[in-house]
Every structure is written in structure tokens, then in C-alpha cells.
Amino acid sequence: MGNLSSPEPSGTPGTPEAPARRFPPRPESVTAARHFARAALDGLASQVVDTAELLLSELVTNAVLHARTEVEVSVSRSADRVLVRVGDHLPSRGVVPQEHRPYPSTGLGLVVVEELASRYGVDTGEGRKTVWCELGPTDLSAPPSSWQAATPPAGPHDTVTLVDLPDALFMASRYRRHALLRELTLAVFAGADLGVRPQELETAHDMSNVLSACVTAARENQPSDADIRSLQVSVPADATPALFTLRRVLGLAEEAARDERLLTRPPLPQNRIFHQWLFDQITSQLAGGQPTAWTVVPREPGASPSELASWDPRQVRDSRVPTVAADEEDRILAANDPVADMLGWQPDELVGQQLTVLIPEHLRERHLAAFTSLQLTGQPRILGRSVPLPALHHDGSLVPVRLLIQTQETVDGRTVFVAQLSPRAAGPSGPAPRKERTPAPSESADQYEQADQYEQAAAEPVAVGSGEGDVSALERLSLLSGTRSALSGTSDLFEGLRKACRILTQRLADWCALDLLDERGLVDRVCVAHRDPRRVTPDVREGRLPPVTEAARGALARVLRGAGPLLFTEIPAAHQAQNPLDARHLELFEQLGGSSAVVAPLRTRREILGALTVARGEGRRPFTEEDLPLVDDLVRNLALGVDNVRLYQETRDIAERLQHSLLPALPDIQDLQLAARYAPSSSTAQVGGDWYDCFVVPNGETALVIGDVAGHDLDAAITMSQLRSMLRGIAVDRQEPPEAVLRRLDLANHSLYREATATCVYALVKRSERGSWELKHSSAGHLPPLLTTADGETRYLENGAGLLLGMDPEQRRPTAVDPLPAHSTVLLYTDGLIERRGESLGDAMAVLRQHTAALAHEPLDVFCDELLIGLGADSTDDIAVLAVRPTPRD
């Protein structure tokens, strides 16, 4: 930069001649520049000096990171103004401002300048660029401040298509990318050997800025309110080599972050996979490849957020599933009524508290360690997996639940952890984890056309529902059959209704909404579907609706009272509604559009179960009276399906209550610790035949039982209860060795239930006169008990194994006796704990040994809960475990 007394660049405020100093492009130059500024401003008010010093340090930091040339600094002062200027010798590289976010991390120095300076700007000249800011009274006659942010570089460009780009994830990933590169640069400048050459670092910085500028320009040129959209992005035609360099440098930065060599945390899986997809899309399309949508990219567990839309607290509040959301500091951001009711809180009481308020004390240390590890390494253990564990009730009791944690991004770049808690007595209430698949090669070429196929469909006439006289018998039958099968093939009511709504929007209407009444007469909006899924934004709320009061006289209220189906060809505005329920219903038409609609009741057995709304928008043939018979048949189909699923759920709930009523309270035995856990399958909501039992027989010995009846239905649960009762009676009455008790149980089972088969371990724990403990046990085809000593040595107690129950009741059964060392742990378990598809039984049993060895010193409750967390996630079978540990007093 030339002499500072030369004419000012255009836009720069005029000041008296100011001292200038040159600094090398090194991090220590920031400190030196601060000292220089403080000396130049000696005598001014301390607040002015401190502010000018701060702003100068931010501008010098930006020049050191992004220009990487010699920096020239000047500080001018007058009676009422201070002017700070920072020059570099790379005018082609513009400044890189970030959006003003409420939760900044790093790299937001220019935002600080914007907030504190009265004026700021950038001037470029021959061979130099000057970034300046001014403190003093606001000059209203001066031109507006502007950074003249970086724009896509000139030169040959090609267009790439980013299909189904998730806006919030793009923003979050961009913030993390810039933060990683910033910290990596500072670390390299400080002398850290991170395997990055200076030229590579410069290329990565420049390519990252170019990529952000290109996508940002595309977003501004193709505005949309959708959270997921497809963009046509113009990128430099020669960008591929630089993108490969950026990918390599980012990988090294992530590795350094995981090793805690950078201040920035490593990204979570969804950010890493998003960057891989983004880079792959650009490089492959520049080479002539076809686009692949983000929504079809396979992802590892925990990498896919529960919703691709940006997170909104209303998603939690409106959910029917017990849900709580926490931020990156483990603080609760939102909780809904179902989770508050389950755990004895009011939702507002939970907001702002640490998440540990819902975690039992014996698992808090483990939770904090796992959460800290996730933040420091970016490697999840349970994200995206259904994990059985206990939650802490407000009154101090434990509530068995299955926990499913997924991540979502906010519009300002934060990550939110959204946890759904399903009562352990039932399967997960939310949808099962989506099975990702890799698209076939022939599919990838058409991904962009597939993403926008709804636009083509919207321009075509509706084949079904265009007047009953125009509908062929085959078309009518096909639509009725499709909606019927959507509910008949599932035990998950809400998933079935979502499938039915998708069918309706594909073949009958532009959009539809389904509202159901519960047993208390309250209304839940269980599904809103649109032909274009991107139209269903977070503002289109599901969940609890306002009550059906006497003041509610709109279409939905009338149908829920028994009227209908009702045809509407003129839709009132939402502000004209006289009550909240009518307003919420009309709000859908303002959000999704609609010029005609039919609202029809779901009615069965003289009972109103809910209402269906189907609507068509402008440009489509409106609904008419001729459509009402078809819609009426459709809602009868849906009502019958809802009634059948609810009947099934009631039956299932009875079986679950029966099953859980048979899980005993463990006895309190001196010098002997006991713990047990039961968890239903994570993939089904069915009951099964797993059970455990523990009681004291009259001679003082402690009986341990674990068993598994074949099947996952009500019959299995009933057979299990009968076997349990018979075993208890035989064991208490006879007080015989385990092999004799199992033989009598097998005889009784064969006589009463000839077709029933089951596995079982019956064991007796006895303390000798010398104070030592022993385990006498016999197995009927069950997995062997596992003994883990206090030193972490493990072995399976495989002696005493015999045929399963129901095969040959006359067959003699063996008994084994094993000593139990003090503080050792015997684990009885069912196969759901260890068996996994594609894994051999031997490998699974070896993994169980590794887990118990690592938990040998943990309290018995922690021992059992950690086993369920580590091995029970995503289990497709029920799990029962029973653990016993001799703890003699010294």
C-alpha cells in the first residue's frame, strides 16, 4: 500500500495524515497491531480505544487468514472520529462476511465490525485492497456501508444441479467448514504439524469461499421458502482439482479437531456426509455425470436427521410422541405435553434445565461422558438407534422407555438433539428407522426429473375423482383397494394413515388432512400430506387441535359432530373464523392453497372417529356433488381400518399389561444384589414370551428363572404366564434340585399345552456355612448363564444343558454346580440381547463377554442398563436379563 497521505480511495472517510505500519501475514501480527493502535490513540477515552483496538484486531485477523500478504495498518484520529484501515496486496480476494447469528462460534469478526462501527467498507485500487471502519457520529449523507462480499469468480463456468438440497444443513455445514479452515490456518501458522502444506491451505480457503459464493448466489437467484429445494448452481469449470484439495484439507482439519488440536469441534456425521455428497455432485457433474438427490444418499445411523426441514420448537410441541429437544450444551430447548405427563413435569418447567434432570443418577456420569465424547470426536454411539433405558420421573421413580435420538439443524447453524421416549411397555410410537438404499445406476440419471415429477402431475387432469360418472370401475376399485391396504398391512396406525394420505394426494386431491378424536373427545391432526412434499413445511402443524366447543361451527366441527360429507367451493379466510378450531382448519387452505374441498367424517359403529379433508387448488377441476359418493366410500374404508387397528392395539395393550404384571419385584436378600430388566422389541409393537423370575423357596435358597416361549403374540404371552405360574408352584411345593423342577414343569407343559415349546434356565443360589456362594442350575435349551468375576474374567456356565421344554418330557435333565466368587456377577439373559442378523452366535456371545468384562466393577443397575444400551439398541426381539452378585460384608 502506498503513502497514507495520498488521496483517499473512493468511499473512505477523509482524515488527517495517519501513521502506518507494515506487518507480516502471521497470527502474532494481530497482537502487534493492537499495541500499535493503542499507542496511536493514546489520550482518547478508554471505551473508544478499546473498541478501536477490537475492530482493528478483527480486520487484521481477516487479512491474515484470507489475503495472506503483507498487511499495512493505519489508525487516524480527529476531534470526534477514529478511522482504522487495514490494507493487503490481494484485491481480487474479497472479504468473507458471515451472517449475523444469535449463536456464533468463530469467524464472525466482520459482524462485530458491523455492529460497533458507525461506518465501514472496502476500497480496491491498483494492486491493493483496503478494509476500513470508522468510529464516531453517524453521517447520514454518506453512502451506505457495504463489504462488497466475494462473488463467484470470472471465467468459464458450468452448471451443476443440487437436487433436494436441505437448506438448514447446507448453512450449518458451511459454518462448520469455515470454522474448521480458520482454526486449521491459525494452528499451522502457530507451527503445528498437521500434514497441510501452505499452498494446499490457500487453495482450500479459496475454494471454500468460491463454493459458498456460488451456492449463495444460486439461492438468491432462485428464492424459495422451502426447507428442501433443488438448485442450479454455476461453478468454475476448472473447480475439480481445488475441490479435491479442499476435501483433503477438510479431512485433516476434522482429524485434528477429533484429536483436540483445534478449538473447533469436529462435525457430526450428517455434516461430513453432506460435504461428501456436495463435493461428489460438483466433481461428477463437471465430468459429465448425472445428479443424485441428497434424499437418496445412504447414510450411517445417526447421520440422517428425523426431519430434513430446519428445526422448529413447534415440531416438538405438536408431536403426539413424548419428545424433548436439547441443544449442544445439553440444555432442554423444548418439551411437549406427552413427555411431561410421562415424567411428571409441566413442559415449561423442563425448558432451560439440563437434560440430566431426566436421567437417573446412576446413568448421569455415563451420559455426560458420552455427550462430551460426541462433541469432541463427532462419533455417535446411539444417534438414530432405539435404545432401552430408564428415564427419571419427577418423583424420583424410574420409567422404562425406549430412547430414539436424532439430530436436526437450525436456520442459524446450530445442531439440536431431538429425543423421542416411547414407554417400554410398547414399541416405538414414531416411524421405524428408514431403510436407506443405494439407487440403481439407471435411477441416478433421472433424479432431477423424479424430484420435480409433482410439477408434471399437477398439470395433468386427475384420473380418479373427476366426477363419479367419469371414473371407471377399475380406477374406483384401485383407489379403494389402495387406501384399504394401507391400513390393513400395518399395526402402526399413524404410519398406515400416512400411506393412505399419500395415495389420496397422488390420485385424488392436491392435499389432504386427517384428524382423529381420542377417547377423551380431543382432536389430533395425525397427518397432512401434499402432492409436493416440500409444501408441508413446519408451519403446517400436526398434533393437538383446539377443542370442539359449542362456538365451533365450521366445516371440521360439523363433521366431527356427525355431519357430512360436506362440499365447499368457496373457502373462507382464516381471520373470519369465530373460534380457534375453525381458524386452524382454514389456516391449512391459506398455507397449502385450495379452491374446493370435501370434508367427510370417519364413522363406524355409530361412532365418529375423525375427519378427512381433501382439497384441490386453482387450475384443477373443482370437487362437485358427483365426487361425494366416492369420498364417502373412501372415509368408510379409512374408518374401518382405524377401528381395526385400534381394536388390535387394545388387545395388544391387554397382553402387554399381562406380561408386565408378571414381571416380579425382586426380593431383598442379605449380601446378595439382584437386578433385572425387560425391553420389548424395537422393531415391533408385539408382545412376546420372554420372562424372568426371582423368589425365595421355603428352605432359604434363592431361585432364579429366565425363559423364552416361542412366538411374539398374545398366545406366547399367555403360555409364558402359565409356565411361570406352574414353575413357581412346583419349585415352592417340591423344593427339589433344578433338574427335577424342570422335568416336572416339562411334564405339566406336555400334558396341558402339547404344542407349546419354550427354553428356560432354573437356578438356585445358595450360601454355604463357610460363607461362600454357589449356583446350582439346569437349562432347558436356553443360552448358558455368564459368570463375570470382579477382575473381569468371564466364562459361560455351559454344564447342565438339556432339551428345551415341549420336546421329550421323559428325558433326564442334568444339573451343574458352580462356585460364585465374592463380587462376581451371574447374568441370565434371553437371545434378544445378543442375536443379530448376519452375526454368528459365537461372535455374539464373545461380544457379550467383552461388555460384561468392561462392566465388572459397575454397580449392578449400571451393569444391566449399560448392557441394554450397548447391545439392546435396535433389537428385533424382546430382551429379558436377570443379574445376581454376591456381596459379602467384610
Task: Check if the beta carbon of residue 383 is closer than 8 Å to that of residue 375.
Answer: no
Q: How confident is the model over 80-93, as pLDDT tens digits?
A: 889 999 999 887 77
Which pLDDT score is estimated for 683?
54
User: How many Å apart are CA 454 and CA 135, to the nearest integer?
Assistant: 54
Residue 87 bridge partners (DSSP): 72, 130
Question: For 610-623, what is the mean pLDDT?
Answer: 90
Residue of 715, 720, 559 whose CA lies nearest to 635: 559
Question: For 28-49, what is the mean pLDDT?
Answer: 90
User: How many Å apart are CA 69 and CA 138, to the nearest integer?
Assistant: 32
User: How many Å apart are CA 875 and CA 74, to the nearest integer?
Assistant: 66
Q: How confident is the model over 339-390, as pLDDT tens digits?
A: 998 999 999 999 999 999 999 999 988 888 888 888 888 888 777 778 888 9
Q: How confident is the model over 403-441, as pLDDT tens digits?
A: 888 888 887 778 889 998 887 653 333 333 333 333 333
Task: Check if the beta carbon of residue 835 is closer than 8 Å to that of residue 848.
Answer: no
Q: Which of 623, 651, 679 is the last residue of a domain?
A: 651
Task: Check if the beta carbon of residue 649 is closer than 8 Å to that of residue 491.
Answer: yes
Q: Same domain, yes or no, for 647 and 673?
A: no
Question: What confidence tier does 32 reach under pLDDT thresholds 50, 70, 90?
Answer: very high
Q: Same domain, yes or no, for 606 and 680?
A: no
Question: For 190-218, what is the mean pLDDT?
Answer: 87
Q: Check which CATH number belongs to the domain holding 576 and give it.
A: 3.30.450.40
Q: Same domain, yes or no, for 593 and 509?
A: yes
Region of poorest pLDDT, from 173-187, 466-480, 550-564: 466-480
Q: Same domain, yes or no, for 669 and 794?
A: yes
Question: For 15-44, what is the mean pLDDT?
Answer: 85
Chain mean pLDDT for the chain: 81
Is a pLDDT exceeding 90 seen at residue 761? yes
Which pLDDT score is estimated for 139?
73
Q: Same domain, yes or no, for 709 and 772?
A: yes
Phi, psi of 873 (to 5 degrees): -65, 135
Region of poorest pLDDT, from 212-221, 303-312, 556-565: 303-312
Please give the tally of structural domains in the chain: 5
Residue at 842: amino acid letter: G
User: How many Å apart are CA 720 and CA 352, to the nearest integer?
Assistant: 45
CB atoms within 10 A of CB 143: 10
**470 or 167: whose pLDDT is higher?**
167
Q: Does 796 map to a domain?
A: yes
Q: Same domain, yes or no, for 501 and 401?
A: no
Kindly tell me the number of DSSP H helices and DSSP E strands found in the chain. Answer: 23, 29
Q: Does 855 map to a domain?
A: yes
Is a pLDDT exceeding 80 seen at residue 331? yes
Which pLDDT score is estimated for 435?
33
The C-alpha angle 291, 295, 300, rounded to 5 degrees, equals 115
**343 or 638: whose pLDDT is higher?**
343
Q: Does 447 map to a domain?
A: no
Q: Check which CATH number belongs to the domain holding 40 and give it.
A: 3.30.565.10
Q: Check which CATH number belongs to the domain holding 872 and give it.
A: 3.60.40.10
Q: How confident is the model over 40-62, as pLDDT tens digits?
A: 998 888 999 999 999 999 899 88
Phi, psi of 407 (to 5 degrees): -110, 150
Q: What percent of the chain has pLDDT over 90?
A: 33
Q: Same domain, yes or no, for 128 and 164?
A: no
H-helix or E-strand spanning residue 865: helix 860-871
User: How many Å apart are CA 125 and CA 1, to the nearest integer?
Assistant: 9
Q: How confident is the model over 145-187, as pLDDT tens digits?
A: 777 655 666 678 899 999 888 888 888 888 889 888 888 888 8
User: How many Å apart are CA 58 and CA 104, to the nearest integer?
Assistant: 15
Which pLDDT score is estimated for 309?
65
Neighbour-count burial of 459, counting CB atoms closer than 10 A to its CB (0-12 exposed, 13-18 middle, 19+ buried): exposed
Q: Check which CATH number belongs to the domain holding 377 and give it.
A: 3.30.450.20
Q: Same domain, yes or no, for 101 and 33?
A: yes
Q: What is the dihedral of CA 626, 629, 634, 639, to 10 degrees?
A: 140
Which pLDDT score is estimated for 489?
60
Q: Same domain, yes or no, for 574 and 639?
A: yes
Residue at 488: amino acid letter: S
Q: What percent of the chain has pLDDT over 70?
A: 83
Structural domain including 320 reads 313-423
Which are the contacts of 211, defined by CB distance < 8 A and separation ≥ 6?
Answer: 235, 243, 246, 278, 282
H-helix or E-strand spanning residue 776: strand 773-780
Q: Same domain, yes or no, for 867 and 821?
A: yes
CB atoms within 10 A of CB 221: 11
Which pLDDT score is estimated for 238?
92
Residue of 61, 178, 221, 49 whose CA lies nearest to 131: 61
Q: Does 151 map to a domain?
A: no
Task: Check if the beta carbon of residue 404 is closer than 8 Å to that of residue 385.
Answer: yes
Phi, psi of 747 (to 5 degrees): -60, -45
Which pLDDT score is estimated for 17?
54
Question: For 508-515, what is the mean pLDDT?
Answer: 90
Q: Does 656 map to a domain?
A: no
Which pLDDT score is estimated for 712?
66
